């Protein structure tokens, strides 16, 4: 055992971050990887490669991207975990990090076989995502996996206070809170020459992120029937992308709505500050959304963009605490339209919210949040 410790201390400890997402767009995992570099880890990110995957660029961080036979459903998760399992078995890593429940089986098995510490980063309350709550048989399988493995984990963290509380009460863990906050930026945008990837001849509202079940994108599109002199920019991709494009076409709203498709995080960060309002309108579809703190909420705040958001507990707490926008009680086209029109009709209030965003972004920054990460991984290092 002493020989093992000397080996670890003589070389940078190798760490792998496993995630089922596309590495190029998973900003949370990239930020954590960069933080781990400062602690002296040699970091590899493992994810999947899709036909539309953007190039992965993250200085100092290696990557492994799996091309899978299946890209959705049970066969996808099985395919990914089998590939990951064999990759981990035949490569040396001193610390294994599982991002979300869908990477945990392979990571946990290898951590036990090789006697390596495992860290669990839960990006969401996986068993309560909208895609599972109406598929009870599949949901039960994931619940069994969670119940079998999570109580055995020592090093854990998650994205919102509500999710951490549930896990700690349910399994007796000590989940830390690591919110997905943006880094501070000192860049000044040139408002006179925004160089946007679409015509900005009128003001625009932005929705950024996944276009999936329960995100309120369909309702936002329909709300545009009741809003004039602004456009809606939908920046992202997902399972509902084509369906949302079809809704816009069927409702004769294509002149009011711009679909950018998936764009790089860097490009998105350049676009967002020019928006008048940012939408974070998740629907109350299970505990995962109810307790969520979406990335987009903090991205808007850092971009100085007032938000129109769902009145869900964690989101509501941020919006009210920092006074950075307005809330709607129910995600309907009428409520969204009413909320947007109210905000647009209050230029003085918009300016107040924008100023509050600047103040909030200093506190809600990755530089503050990453201290929890550093403390946890220093403990992991001492355990090896």
pLDDT in tens, 319-368: 999 999 999 999 999 999 999 999 999 999 999 999 999 999 999 999 99
Q: For a pLDDT cut of 70, what percent of the chain falls above it? A: 94
Query: What are the CA-CA distances from residue 251 to residues 236, 240, 254, 268, 289 (Å)?
Result: 21, 16, 8, 27, 28
Task: Report residue 192's pLDDT band, with 50, 70 and 90 as the boundaries.
Answer: very low
DSSP state of 200: -
Indicate the average pLDDT of the chain.
90
Query: What are the CA-CA distances from residue 152 to residues 169, 173, 254, 271 (Å)?
Result: 14, 8, 51, 43
pLDDT at 131 over 70: yes
The per-residue b/e assignment along 229-263, b for 16 or more CB within 10 angstroms, e otherwise, is: ebbbbbbbbbebbeebbebbeeeebeebbbbbebb
Please report where in the chains the tokens 């961080």 appear, as a residue: 61
Give CA 339 to chain center in angstroms. Answer: 25
Task: Report residue 267's pLDDT band, with 50, 70 and 90 as the boundaries.
Answer: confident
What is d(CA 100, CA 62) in angstroms, rounded to the nearest whole number?
A: 20
Mean pLDDT of 247-270: 91
pLDDT at 194: 60
pLDDT at 72: 78
pLDDT at 187 over 70: no
pLDDT at 336: 97
Give the pLDDT confidence of 202-229 residue by residue, as tens digits: 899 999 998 999 999 999 999 999 999 9
The pTM assigned to this predicted structure is 0.87
Angle between helices 295-303 and 347-363 (to 10 degrees): 110
3.40.50.300, 3.40.1380.20, 1.10.3720.10, 3.40.50.2000: CATH of 204-363 = 3.40.50.2000
- Say which residues have a Cβ less than 8 Å from residue 290's Cβ, sequence separation at least 6: 162, 284, 312, 313
Which two structure tokens, joined as six digits, stand for 12? 């940078």
Q: Are strands 42-48 and 62-66 parallel, antiparallel or unpaired?
A: parallel
Ranges for all domains in the chain classified under CATH 3.40.50.2000: 2-181+366-383, 204-363
What is d(CA 66, CA 80) in angstroms, rounded to the nearest whole number?
A: 8
Fold of 2-181+366-383: Rossmann fold (3.40.50)
Helix (H, G, I), strand (E, B) or coil at 152: helix
pLDDT at 2: 37
pLDDT at 24: 80
Contact in structure between 283 and 216 (CB atoms under 8 Å) = yes
H or E stretch at 171: helix 161-171
pLDDT at 4: 41
Least confident stretch, 190-204, 292-306, 311-325, 337-351: 190-204
Mean pLDDT of 8-32: 85
pLDDT at 257 over 90: yes
What is d(CA 321, CA 303) in angstroms, rounded to the nearest whole number?
A: 18
**Tally of CB atoms within 10 A around 318:** 22
Query: What are the CA-CA distances from residue 19 to residues 33, 40, 270, 359 (Å)?
Result: 12, 21, 26, 33
Nearest to 318, CA basis, from 123, 180, 153? 180
pLDDT at 53: 74
């Amino acid at each position: 055992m002493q020989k093992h410790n000397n080996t670890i201390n003589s070389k940078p400890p190798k760490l792998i971050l496993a995630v089922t997402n596309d590495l190029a767009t998973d900003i949370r995992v990239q930020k954590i990887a960069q933080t781990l570099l400062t602690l002296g880890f040699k970091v590899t990110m493992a994810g999947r490669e899709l036909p539309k995957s953007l190039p992965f660029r993250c200085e100092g961080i290696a990557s492994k991207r799996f091309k899978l036979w299946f890209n959705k459903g049970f066969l996808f998760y099985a395919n990914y975990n089998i590939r990951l399992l064999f990759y981990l078995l035949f490569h040396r890593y001193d610390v294994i990090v599982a991002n979300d429940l869908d990477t945990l089986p392979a990571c946990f098995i290898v951590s036990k076989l090789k006697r390596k510490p495992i860290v669990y980063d839960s990006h969401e309350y996986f068993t309560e995502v909208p895609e599972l709550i109406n598929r009870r048989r599949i949901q039960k399988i994931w619940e069994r996996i969670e119940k079998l493995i999570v109580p055995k984990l020592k090093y854990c963290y998650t994205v919102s206070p509500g999710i951490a509380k549930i896990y700690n009460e349910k399994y007796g863990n000590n989940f830390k809170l690591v919110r997905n906050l943006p880094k501070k930026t000192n860049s000044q945008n040139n408002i006179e020459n925004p160089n946007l990837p679409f015509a900005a001849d009128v003001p625009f509202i932005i929705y950024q992120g996944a276009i999936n079940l329960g995100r309120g994108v369909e309702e936002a599109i329909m709300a545009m029937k009741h809003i004039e002199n602004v456009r809606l920019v939908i920046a992202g991709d997902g399972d509902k992308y084509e369906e949302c494009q079809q809704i816009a076409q069927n409702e004769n709203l294509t002149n009011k709505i711009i679909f950018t498709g998936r764009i790089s995080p860097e490009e998105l960060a350049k676009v967002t500050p020019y928006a008048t309002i940012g939408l974070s309108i998740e629907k109350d579809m299970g505990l995962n959304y109810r307790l969520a703190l979406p990335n987009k909420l903090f991205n808007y705040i850092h971009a100085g963009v007032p938000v129109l958001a769902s009145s869900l507990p964690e989101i509501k707490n941020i919006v009210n605490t920092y006074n950075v926008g307005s809330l709607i009680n129910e995600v309907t086209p009428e409520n969204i339209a009413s909320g947007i029109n109210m905000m647009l009709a209050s230029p003085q209030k918009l300016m107040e919210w924008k100023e509050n965003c600047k103040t909030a972004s200093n506190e809600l920054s990755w530089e503050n949040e990453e201290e929890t990460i550093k403390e946890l991984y220093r403990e992991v290092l001492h355990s090896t």
